[in-house]
Amino acid sequence: MANGKKIKPKEYALPSGGWGSMRGIASIFSREHPTRGVVQTLMRQNKPEGYMCTSCSWGRPKHPHKFEFCENGAKSTIWDLTEDRCKPDFFAQHTVTELLQWQDYDLEIQGRLTEPMHYDPSTDNYIPCSWEDAFTGIAAELNELDPKTVIFYTSGKAALEAAYLYGLFARFYGNNNLPDSSNMCHETTSVSLKKVIGTDVGSCVMEDFDHCDAIFYFGQNPGTNSGRFLHPLQEAVKRGCKIIVFNPVKEKGLIEFLNPQDPLEMLTGRGTDLAHMYLQVKPGGDISAIMGLCKHVISVDDTLRKEALDSILDVKFLEQHCHDFNEFAQQARETSWSDIEMYSGLLRADLEAAAEVYIAAERVIGVYGMGLTQHVHGSQGVGMLINLLLLRGNIGRLGAGISPVRGHSNVQGQRTVGISEKPDLVPLDRLAELFDFEPPRDHGLTTVDVCHGILQNEVHGFISLGGNFVRAIPERNTMEQAWTNQSITVYIATKLNRSHLIHGRNSWLLPCLVRAEEDCQENVPQAVTIEDSFSHIHGSIGKVKPASPHLLSELAIITGIAKATLPDHPKWCWDAWTSDYGKVRELIELTYPDDFKDYNQRIFQAGGFYRGNTAHERVWKTSSKKAEFTCPSVLSALGVGVAPGRYHLITMRSNDQFNTTIYGFSDRLRGLEGSREILLISPEDMEQEGLNEGDVVSLLSDAGDDVIREVGGLKITPFNLPRGALGGYYPEMNPLVPLWYHDEMSKTPASKGVPVRIRR
Ligand X SMILES: Nc1nc2c(c(=O)[nH]1)N[C@H]1C(S)=C(S)[C@@H](COP(=O)(O)OP(=O)(O)OC[C@H]3O[C@@H](n4cnc5c(=O)[nH]c(N)nc54)[C@H](O)[C@@H]3O)O[C@H]1N2
CA distance 430 to 591: 6
Q: What mask of x and - would describe binding to Mo ion in positions 167 to 186, judged by CB under 5 A?
A: ------------------x-
Site for ligand X in 248-267 (CB under 6 A): 248-249, 251
Residue 755's closest CA among 685, 691, 705, 684?
705
d(CA 760, CA 758): 7
Segment 526-555, which members bind ligand X (CB under 6 A)?
554
Instruction: List the x/- string, 639-658, binding to ligand X by CB under 6 A.
Output: -----------xxxx---xx
For ligand X (CB under 6 A), the number of binding residues is 63
**185 makes contact with ligand X (CB under 6 A):** yes
Tell me how crowded residue 20 is: count the other CB atoms within 10 A of its CB: 20
344 and 286 Cβ atoms separated by less than 8 Å: yes
Is the sign of the CA dihedral 622, 623, 629, 635 positive or negative?
negative
C-alpha pair distances (Å), 240 with each of 209, 215, 273, 287, 476: 12, 11, 12, 27, 46
Of ligand X, Mo ion, none, which one sits near residue 494, judging by CB under 5 to 8 A according to partner kind?
A: ligand X
Q: x/- contact string, 421-450, with ligand X (CB under 6 A)?
A: ------------------------------
Please report whether residue 286 would count as binding ligand X according to CB under 6 A: yes
Binding test (CB under 6 A) with ligand X, winner from 15, 111, 283, 724: 283
Instruction: In angstroms, give the least distance from the CB of 643 to ligand X.
Output: 18
* 286 three-state secondary structure: helix
What are phi and psi for residue 509, nearest 5 degrees? -120, 110
Among 407, 444, 539, 542, binds ligand X (CB under 6 A): 407
Pick the piece of the chain touching Mo ion (CB under 5 A) from 91-99, 311-319, 407-415, 484-492: 407-415
Sole binder of ligand X in the list 155, 192, 416, 526 (CB under 6 A): 155
Q: DSSP letter for 78, please.
A: H
Alpha-carbon torsion (560, 561, 562, 566), positive or negative: positive
Q: SS3 for 464?
A: strand
Best CA proximity match to 190, nearest among 748, 608, 738, 591: 748
State how far the Cα of 278 lies from the Cα of 36, in Å rounded to an integer.
43
* DSSP secondary structure code for residue 474 in this structure: S
Query: Is residue 466 involved in binding ligand X (CB under 6 A)?
Result: yes
What are the backbone angles phi and psi of residue 319, rounded to the nearest 5°?
Answer: -70, -50
Report the C-alpha gap between 332 and 326 in whole angstroms.
10
Looking at 24-32, 86-94, 280-288, 389-397, which segment touches ligand X (CB under 6 A)? Answer: 280-288
State how far the alpha carbon of 150 is from the alpha carbons of 162, 334, 583, in Å. Answer: 19, 49, 28
Which residue type is seen at 134?
A: A
**Contact of residue 219 among Mo ion, ligand X, none (CB under 5-8 Å per partner type):** ligand X
Residues 733, 649 contacting (CB under 8 angstroms): yes
Which window, 21-29, 368-376, 534-542, 568-576, contacts ligand X (CB under 6 A)?
368-376
- The one-letter amino acid at 507: S
Binding site partner of 730, from Mo ion, ligand X, none, Cβ cut-off 5-8 A by kind = ligand X
List phi, psi (to 5°) of 576.
-65, -40
Q: Does 345 bind Mo ion (CB under 5 A)?
A: no
Name the residue number minimizing CB distance to Mo ion.
407
Give dist(CA 655, CA 223) in Å, integer: 8
* Residue 311 CB, nearest approach to ligand X (Å): 29
| Among positions 407, 546, 718, 749, the unique one binding Mo ion when judged by CB under 5 A | 407
Our finding on whether 722 is near ligand X (CB under 6 A) is no
Q: State the binding partner of 157 from ligand X, Mo ion, none, CB within 5 to 8 A by kind.
A: ligand X
Binding ligand X (rule: CB under 6 A), the pick from 45, 46, 72, 280 is 72
**Between residues 440 and 727, which has the closer beta carbon with respect to ligand X?**
727
* Cα separation, 347 vs 353, whole angstroms: 10
Q: Does residue 664 bind ligand X (CB under 6 A)?
A: no
Per rule CB under 6 A, is residue 16 in the interface with ligand X? no
In the 8-state DSSP scheme, what is residue 669?
Answer: G
Cβ neighbours of residue 270 closer than 8 Å, sequence gap 6 or more = 258
CB closer to ligand X out of 242 and 668:
668
Is 17 or 407 the residue whose CB approaches Mo ion more closely? Answer: 407
* Nearest residue (CB) to Mo ion, 283 versus 407: 407
Residues in the chain: 760
Question: Which one of Mo ion, ligand X, none is in contact with 650 (Cβ closer than 5 to 8 A by kind)?
Answer: ligand X
- Choose from Mo ion, ligand X, none: what does 535 bind? Cβ within 5-8 Å by kind: none
> Quick one: 469 or 592, whose CB is closer to ligand X?
469
Q: Rank residues 60 and 495 by Cβ distance to ligand X and give the closer one.
A: 495
Contacts of 730 (CB under 8 A, 6+ apart): 651, 652, 653, 659, 751
Check residue 721 for interaction with ligand X (CB under 6 A).
no
Q: Scan residues 477-516 and list those touching ligand X (CB under 6 A).
A: 492-495, 497, 512, 514
DSSP at 505: S
Of 645, 680, 87, 725, the residue nearest 344 (C-alpha): 725
Which residues inside 185-244 make contact with Mo ion, applying CB under 5 A? Answer: 185
Nearer to ligand X, 418 or 466 (CB): 466
> Contact region for ligand X (CB under 6 A) — 39-47, 223-231, 386-394, 702-710?
223-231
d(CA 189, CA 474): 19
Task: Give the interface with Mo ion as residue ranges (CB under 5 A).
Answer: 185, 407
Binding residues for ligand X, rule: CB under 6 A, are 54-56, 72, 108, 155, 157, 181, 184-185, 218-221, 224-226, 246-249, 251, 281, 283-284, 286, 369-371, 374, 405, 407-408, 465-469, 472, 492-495, 497, 512, 514, 554, 650-653, 657-661, 730-731, 733-734, 737, 751-752
